[in-house]
A and B are shown apart, each in its own frame.
Chain A
Amino acid sequence: MKSKTCCVAVQGRKMFDKFLTPCCLIVACVLSFSTARADDKFEIYTVNYPLQYFAQRIGGQHVNVKFPAPADVDPAFWMPDVKIIGDYQQADLILLNGAGYAKWVSKVSLPRRKLVNTSSIFKDDYIKIDSEITHQHGPAGDHSHAGIAFTTWLDFTQASRQAEKIAAAMKNARPGLAEEFEQNFKQLNHDLMQLDARMSELSSLQPAQPLLASHPVYQYLSRRYELNLKSLMWEPGVYPEPAEWQVLNLILRRHEAEWMLWEDQPIEKTQKQLSASGVDVVVFSPCMNRPQKGDFMTVMQANIDALADVFSD
């Protein structure tokens, strides 16, 4: 009897093994397939942080947005290495800022059909910067290296149009997710329009107030919000040369600014010297690279909060 029971048990075990193994295999396959589907995200590469932020907000969980520039570099003048260029080439979409931003793009090979120039929609409104120097040689004739102002997103209406272009490209690439992308874009657009409204309101308090900028990166901000702004070419981490202070004093004679916009907090020595000249520092970060704290929205809100002091002064 005992041996019969034992025999039945062994047979049962065999039967169990016979069915369990394939079942486990099927479950494992299904799980791995569903995991693979979940990981099958739409890969997007961008050339600056604002575009990364916009794309991530619009794409949500369905996209994997990468901006591979190191945190301590200016993405406008960064040059990626061959490995990173290879990653860009393999991406599903490559978001460019346009307006001559990220000069490296013209020196590398990227697949044309994956490129999205987010500012092409308002390319006629680009602000041209006249270069001081032109040169002439060879058959090409007289030419200059004049550029275009590229911090387009500091005009929040332009930022919104860039986001709209991103949303359109993403919807085109993943039509099945179009509705979700559209909803996310609407939320982002609402936030950007709030920034625009706040900024417009602030600047209208003292529209003619003279302002200085440490660096020529606020052209679109200045145009949209009608700021009376003059730019220098100073770096936050570098104490300006005596000649540069002389230039400042010359400007201040005709343009009595009490505030200077900085991309980042300048060194203390510069700050003290500026105070001595009657100029206070206000940080308005263009947020070209990933912020140490917060995100694009919080940085822009902090920028506007800081400007509130300037315009209520």
Chain B
Amino acid sequence: MIDSLYIAWQYVRWNRGKTLVLITSITLIAFLPLALQIVLQESEHQLQSRAVNTPLLIGAKGSALDLVMNSLYFDDEAPQAINMQAVGQVEDTDLAQAIPLYVRFQSRGFPIVGTSLDYFDFRQLQIEQGRMYAFLGETVIGADVAERLAVVPGGSLVSSPDNLFDIAGVYPLKMKVSGVLARSHSPDDLAIFVDLRTAWVIQGFGHGHQDLVKSRDATVILNQDEKTVTANAKLLQYTEISEDNIDSFHFHGDESIYPITAVLAQPHDDKSSALLRGRYLDDIVYQVVKPDDVIEGLMENIFRIKNVINAVIFIVGIATVLTIVLVFILSLRIRRDEMNTIFRIGCSRMTTMRLLAAEILIILLASALLCTALLWLVKINSGGLVRSFIL
């Protein structure tokens, strides 16, 4: 058998091109469905583990999937905004702890998550470098954000304009990075966290500017009477919150009507959860969803798609196998003289068959090795792949 393998090895070495094509075809046919399986398993794991760990979400009536994807995975498709009264409503029930979330803005392609400090306890996120944000305008960033943008505590990030064509819109806010979170292998690694009020400053609900009453620049004042000072667009608004100007930052209006995208509710127990959900059954403004249920529905759809993809791969696989068989048959025809020579020098038909079997074995082994190596690469990077390209 060793002799057969040796001769077969010499043959496949000599016909490098043909061998390479065969190995690649077989590898791809085996690799694609298996890799898809690994990625889907990882997606399912990541989607479900985060969903299972998030008891209830309250948001505006509408797409439950948008609400979950935005609140759990910081998807850039923001659901319709609700206001802070929703947080107060949950707190007043005394059935759950409420964590507000405002996921609408971005900075250099990463989502800015406006929330309260309770979020970090809830997700058990730890600070690895620097410290937790303390002042308005400070931010704590996920491990991947820090790595990809090469930002460290003390650095800064600028919020992206909400709308590029709205030149009269709010100014981007330069946020100071106070800390970097330890890697959690979750979408939190790819997020920029700020206090809810900082998110409202980005939106323009809060701002800091020179004192209009004390201003000596008359060209800033559009109109002034006993009670009202009206400024024009020349009024300088601060685009960075610093120790020197933080006192000038203020919010207008009632904070309870400021926007958020969701309330993450953490009921005290199952009974509280059921009671809380019951309260929103007939609500016309809010919906309460169990992320676990929503993700389960999503996964069912994903698996339906996966079955279709698998069927396609199966058919393509059959076609490829048939082609490979054809390649071998044609190859045998081309090698008919070579086979006759082997037979004439005294080798039996069985020896010829062994030679051919050894060639196939070598090609299959090489494909299996290559496929395993590729699958191993996919497996170790599946978490990152899923977080970057799917979630």
Choose one: B100, B134, B207; the contact of A89 (CB below 8 Å): B134
Choose one: B121, B131, B197, B231; the contact of A82 (CB below 8 Å): B131
Of listed A79, A107, A109, A145, residue having the most chain B CB within 10 A: A109
Are B252 and A140 within 8 A (Cβ)? yes
Are A136 and B135 within 8 A (Cβ)? no
Are A109 and B132 within 8 A (Cβ)? yes
Which residues of B are found within 8 Å of A138, using beta-carbon distances?
Answer: 204, 207, 235, 237
Of listed A85, A108, A135, residue having the most chain B CB within 10 A: A135
Chain A: interface residue count, which band?
Answer: 20 to 34
Choose one: A106, A107, A135; the contact of B231 (CB below 8 Å): A135
Which residues of A are found within 8 Å of B136, using beta-carbon distances?
Answer: 107-109
Are B132 and A89 within 8 A (Cβ)? yes
Interface of A is mostly: mixed
- The answer to the question of A142 belonging to the interface, with a C-beta cut-off of 8 Å to chain B, is yes
Q: Which residue of A lies closest to B195 (CB)?
A: A109
* Contacts of A82-115 to chain B: CB distance below 8 A: 82, 85-86, 89, 106-113
Are A85 and B227 within 8 A (Cβ)? no
Are B118 and A112 within 8 A (Cβ)? yes
- The answer to the question of A137 belonging to the interface, with a C-beta cut-off of 8 Å to chain B, is yes
- The answer to the question of A276 belonging to the interface, with a C-beta cut-off of 8 Å to chain B, is no
Choose one: B135, B212, B226, B237; the contact of A109 (CB below 8 Å): B135
- The answer to the question of A24 belonging to the interface, with a C-beta cut-off of 8 Å to chain B, is no
- The answer to the question of A2 belonging to the interface, with a C-beta cut-off of 8 Å to chain B, is no
Would A109 and B117 be within 8 Å (CB), given that A86-B134, A143-B252 are in contact?
yes
Are A136 and B246 within 8 A (Cβ)? no
- The answer to the question of A133 belonging to the interface, with a C-beta cut-off of 8 Å to chain B, is yes
Bound form: Cα–Cα A24–B99 in Å: 49
Bound form: Cα–Cα A154–B106 in Å: 46
- The answer to the question of A134 belonging to the interface, with a C-beta cut-off of 8 Å to chain B, is yes
Write 17 A-B pairs (CB below 8 A) sorted by A numbering: A82-B131, A107-B246, A108-B135, A109-B117, A109-B132, A109-B133, A109-B134, A109-B135, A109-B136, A112-B99, A133-B229, A136-B223, A137-B231, A137-B235, A142-B228, A143-B253, A145-B250
Residues of B within 8 A of A (CB): 97-100, 116-118, 121, 131-136, 138, 195, 197, 204-205, 207, 209, 212-213, 223, 226-233, 235, 237, 246-247, 249-253
Further 8 A-B residue pairs, CB within 8 A, beyond A135-B230, A140-B205, A140-B253: A82-B131, A86-B134, A89-B132, A89-B134, A107-B249, A112-B100, A137-B233, A138-B207
